[in-house]
Amino acid sequence: MSLSHDTSAGISSTAPSSRMPPGFLARVKGMLFAPTTEWLRVARESVTRRRLFFGYVLPLAGLAALLELARFSMFLRAPLASLVAVVALTLGFEVLCVYAVALIINAVALYFRGVPSPGQALKVAAYASTPLWLSAVFIPFPAVSVPLQFLAGLYHTYLMYLGLKSLMKSPRDRALGYATTVVLCSIILGIVFVQVSASLGESLHLGHFRAFG
- What's the confidence (pLDDT) of residue 133? 92
- What's the confidence (pLDDT) of residue 10? 44
Taking only the tens place, the pLDDT of each residue in 1-59 is: 444 444 333 454 444 344 667 899 999 999 999 999 999 999 999 899 999 999 999 99
CB count in 10 Å sphere of residue 59: 14
What gap in Å lies between CA 34 and CA 27, rounded to an integer? Answer: 10
What gap in Å lies between CA 33 and CA 100, rounded to an integer? Answer: 27
- What's the confidence (pLDDT) of residue 136? 85
The runs of H, that is alpha helices, within 53-141 are 58-75, 80-107, 118-127, 130-134
The ranges of the chain with pLDDT < 50 are: 1-10, 12-18, 208, 212
What gap in Å lies between CA 4 and CA 119, rounded to an integer? Answer: 10
